[in-house]
Structure 1
Amino acid sequence: MTVGIEKCSVNKFKHGQLQPLQEDVVAIERPVALIYNGISHVVMMATPKDLNYFAIGFSLTEKIIESVDEIYGIDIIDSEQGIEVHIELSSRRFMQLKEKRRNLTGRSGCGICGTEQLEQVCQFIPPLSLNDKIHLSDFEQSLNYLKEVQTVGGQTGGTHAAVWLDLNGNFIAGFEDVGRHVALDKLLGYRATFLRNQNLKGVILVSSRASYEMVQKTARCGVEILFAVSAATSMAIEQAKQCQLTLVGFFRDTQGVIYSTKERILK
């Protein structure tokens, strides 16, 4: 069976009629703890595949590291309670992480995605360059790539996906997860690991809406263009404008909505 899928027994109904018990498949969702140098940092719900890329991508997008070279090792330990991903950081990065955690201790939380104060949410990101240019006609088949990487989602309907395309619309890599942010982190982790010595120009396409966190993660890794199948939120648009990220929502092959920085899109 495909990694990330498990069987279950269900009763389906159609036109109000209950059908006999039958076997179905669902996407696996498990708690995943990211542990840095022996100290637990966060627990996320995720599909248990490609977790090494998730650990790298999360570390980059949350500014725990600046380069994948600052991670010395990753060990994944499975148990009945969940999965532990042990990440060995460089001494300098670990000291910075401990200092950050110490400064947060005792503060009252605002309840937004694990942050403690509003200024942690609305962080300034330096404006991106305007070097990348694309023709929208090159991306008319891009939605097919989302389907291709969703080996779990194709059987269960339970995952999101994020794919990396070059500036000509060619597929480079893609990942899926029950969580849209986790799928994006996996992709950014792969990009940092395997594409760091290559041309990093390209476009990210996600199967979900574009939240401000998706924009923030994308821009922090230096990606200039983000396509989303669904809508963009108000904060996502505001963040995209601030950091000069080209944000496209409701992307459907031949149509979409450009929310910011249309200068990268050529006629």
Structure 2
Amino acid sequence: MMMSREFQKVPLQRLVNDQSEIKSEILVQESIITFHSICLNGSLEPHTSLLGTPTLVNELHIGHLLSEGLIDEMPNVEDFEFKMVNGKIHSYYNSGILKIPEPRLITTSCGACNHPDLSVDQLHGKPIQHIQQLTHTDVKRGLEKMRENMTLFERTGGCHGAALLAENGDVQFVSEDIGRHNAVDKTIGLAVLSGIHSFDTFTLLLSGRCGWDIVAKATRIGIPMIASVGAFSSAALELARENGISLYGFVR
């Protein structure tokens, strides 16, 4: 069995024209990733574990802290360290966070699992100051460019993608993960590591649907627009309206 941090190549039984055959298939990698930060007692403690594809782990950690409201300022990237400990994946943030989340495993399908309710009051979002002037063609072309750069999806067919569309049409910080909320966090983390400190001139691009959890992340970060290949949910629409975020769904 061939394995990387992105995928595994495994022999599987495949049914073709009512005949079974053994053939190697490439599966997207899914692992438990644990985040550690300095907690109230001053010690470095684990506070969040999630299921995800173990690439861009520190970027994922940075994006998660910002988009979940666990820090309110851009972090010092030198404070992050990624390690493999006994075959398990850990990312360490050598600084404090604003609150300690209730310990639980965040699955790839549950970006809102660590939120007790969908209350807007607890989001502490950044006010939207700027709305991009984009045409349907701009958004559609941006999603197409993102898809062209989703190499892990091309190999496995098993992951989500996210990216940022700049006002000049550039598609930046394409990220992939088996969890759509993880892909968004990786994109945010990549942008921060590249020197981006404000997101109010970007559109968030999504390869799938847009739920409440994604709009909540955009609200906290200050992203004014979200464009998705799939639909957006009723809760996503309500939250977007309350925070002045524009949603584009079913962009084809």
- Name the TM-score, length of structure 2 as normaliser: 0.84
| Cα pair 2:77 2:193 within 8 Å, conserved | no
Matching residue's letter, 1:228: S
Give, in angstroms, the shift of residue 197 of structure 1.
5.9
| Cα pair 2:130 2:201 within 8 Å, conserved | no
Give, in angstroms, the shift of residue 66 of structure 1.
1.7
2:11 paired residue number: 9
1:32-88 deviation per Cα after TM superposition (whole angstroms, max 9, x unaligned)? 001112211111111111111101000001111122335651121214552111111
| Cα pair 2:199 2:222 within 8 Å, conserved | no
List aligned pairs for 1:234-245, cutoff 5 A. 234-245=234-245
| Cα pair 2:69 2:123 within 8 Å, conserved | no
Give, in angstroms, the shift of residue 119 of structure 1.
4.1
1:77 paired residue number: 83
| Cα pair 2:8 2:28 within 8 Å, conserved | yes
List aligned pairs for 1:212-251, cutoff 5 A. 212-251=212-251
1:149-199 deviation per Cα after TM superposition (whole angstroms, max 9, x unaligned)? 322111110110001111232222210000000000010112223142688
- Name the TM-score, length of structure 1 as normaliser: 0.80
1:53 paired residue number: 59
Matching residue's letter, 2:24: E
2:106 paired residue number: none
Provide structure 1 residue ranges, at least 5 long, that are not aligned to the other structure. Answer: 106-111, 253-267
| Cα pair 1:159 1:179 within 8 Å, conserved | yes
| Cα pair 1:60 1:221 within 8 Å, conserved | yes
2:109 paired residue number: none
Provide structure 2 residue ranges, at least 5 long, that are not aligned to the other structure. Answer: 39-43, 104-111
Question: Which structure: larger Rg?
Answer: 1
1:33 paired residue number: 34
Give, in angstroms, the shift of residue 11 of structure 1.
1.0
**Matches of 1:129 and 1:181 in 2, distance apart?**
24
| Structure 1 pair 225–119 and aligned structure 2 pair: CA distance change class (3 A) | closer
State the aligned residue count: 237
**Matches of 2:120 and 2:197 in 1, distance apart?**
31
- The Cα RMSD (Å) is 2.5
SS at 1:88's partner residue?
Answer: strand
1:256 paired residue number: none
Matching residue's letter, 1:161: G
**Matches of 2:32 and 2:89 in 1, distance apart?**
6
| Cα pair 1:150 1:175 within 8 Å, conserved | yes
Matching residue's letter, 1:31: I
1:87 paired residue number: 93
| Cα pair 1:161 1:177 within 8 Å, conserved | yes
